[in-house]
Structure 1
């Protein structure tokens, strides 16, 4: 395999920097899902931790290194989960954390950022506007700008999920990974291709936020003017070139799924696995629903990457309707 920015030795070392509460998350075969999906499905559950998402694996690494270098403050842009995780990790190391987010981000995510003592600044636009504002704050205040996916530590923190998959899972044929900025996909993808290259790495993104998938398909950065998806955690418009370069080395495929399939996946995870998840966490299930023939008879792992969801919105999405059926 050509080399990504990630380093397997550093990834193994990252486990020593991450609070154990975020490590060794449950991985189990979910047989109740299988009749509706037509394949064997194992779940890697990244929601049973203090921030209810995988993001703290990366922020724990970032903050540990910052604290070791004497830094006392950091700022990030976030759709919610990164800011939540950075606030948690920063509080543990005594860092002053500023999070810039869209005022349209889920209230549950914003409330948790505030509760952890971070300074929260809201912008009237989307994540890309928040990213620009966070960069301006970093320049003005002379503090570290934490950039998810661009900062290799965030990818290597996420890559510890891949280590755990390969250390504990029985043999599996494919891993389905939510694709947004790319930290999760490049991190897990790196470990899978390094240790089990025969396993298919499939990235999944909403049709309404396709920038990284289009970039992967064309092998060059494709930006979009807007996004239109309930999966706010993966709704970026401007892929980072260095992250795309890594993704091109580790992803075997990148697919786009419809909103109805995301909602159906959330409902299946509730009904058959007892899991309340945010839309991004259901992308893997959505991909199977949209292409059952591709996965028939295979053993698939999907990473349930986040559970921070506005309950009122969740009830609107999941409270009615039925699964899409394919002939």
Structure 2
């Protein structure tokens, strides 16, 4: 595939580096969801691992490279899941990991980062303020700044999910992927367009955090002043040009969904699949709910990208007592 940072041979080789605990995640048809949505639905469950998100696939590659080069420390900004994954991957290699996050990040994610032994620094503001602080710390200390989506390892780690989807059997008609910084979407999309090009790659973002989707539509970087969504894991405001370039090669459409549809997706996952997922993981179902006719009768795969839920907020979204 021309003009992309990703490489299919490296992605295949990544499976030899990534801890098997993150590989070959469950993929299954969920008939209970199908009755509600009017299409065949397969769930790719990226929460059945020690960090409860897909991020460990990428951080395994990052840490492998750091250790090979003899580097002993790394800094990242995180909405929560990347920080957990980097802490987990770095822990067994004696890596000194510092994670910078917003004070507004879900408490459950912050607690888990601490529990995994990383140094956690909290800043006021949103993820973009955390990113600015992480850049400063990395420069000050002279250590590796791990930038999700910009670092190709995070994209190629996520791309191993695409290998598993492509090898699952008859190609899916469409795959729905949460869109935030872009590592998940570009990684999976690259493999699908390389191996099963007729599968439609659909990326989904909240209407209230639309920067990357707007950028895809405009074919240039579009920033936003705010990112006010319950889907905190995809709430960036400043898309990365290099990642957008990769995304433009593989995404067939970029969809925006309403907050109420995300909540409806959370409820469907709980009541019909028995899954407690974070809002970013419900974006795919939200997209189906908002355009049932588009998916009617088709076989759709939905990537459940994370399950690190702040339970008080989760109960509030679903309107149930804690």
Normalising by the smaller structure, the TM-score range is: over 0.9
Q: Report the Cα distance in structure 2 between the residues aligned to 1:15 and 1:191, rounded to whole angstroms.
A: 14
SS at match of 1:132: helix
Q: What is the match of residue 99 of structure 1?
A: 99
TM-score with structure 2 length normalisation? Answer: 0.98
Per the alignment, residue 16 of structure 1 pairs with 16
Note the residue ranges of structure 2 that are not aligned, 5 or more in a row: none
1:295-314 pair list within 5 angstroms? 295-314=295-314
Q: Distance in 2 between matches of 1:102 and 1:180?
A: 16
What is the count of residue pairs matched by the alignment? Answer: 320
Looking at structure 1, the residues matched to 236 and 38 of structure 2 have their Cα atoms a distance apart, in angstroms, of 31
2:109 paired residue number: 109
Aligned match of 2:45: 45
SS at the partner of 1:168? coil
Q: Deviations over 1:169-214 (max 9, x none)?
A: 4331000000000000000000000001100000000000000000
Alignment of 1:212-223 (within 5 A): 212-223=212-223
| Residues 171 and 196, structure 2, Cα contact 8 Å, conserved in 1 | no
Instruction: Provide the rounded CA distance (Å) in 2 between the counterparts of 1:285 and 1:170.
Output: 21
Given that 1:162 and 1:187 are in contact with CA atoms closer than 8 Å, whether structure 2 keeps it comes out as yes
Alignment of 1:189-228 (within 5 A): 189-228=189-228
Partner of 2:231: 231
Describe the SS at the equivalent of 1:260.
helix
| SS, match of residue 93 in structure 1 | coil
Say if 1:27 and 1:169, in contact at 8 Å, map to a contact too.
Answer: no
Consecutive unaligned residues in structure 1, runs of 5 or more: 321-327
Q: Does 1:182 align with 2:182?
A: yes
Assess if the C-alpha contact under 8 Å between 2:40 and 2:300 holds in 1. yes
> In structure 2, what is the equivalent of residue 123 of structure 1?
123
Contact kept, 8 Å, 1:58 with 1:153, in 2: the verdict is: yes
Q: Deviations over 1:253-280 (max 9, x none)?
A: 0000000000000000000000000000
Contact (CA 8 Å) 1:73, 1:144: kept in 2 or not? yes
* 1:253 counterpart residue number: 253
Equivalent residue number for residue 68 of structure 2: 68
Match of 1:324 in 2: none
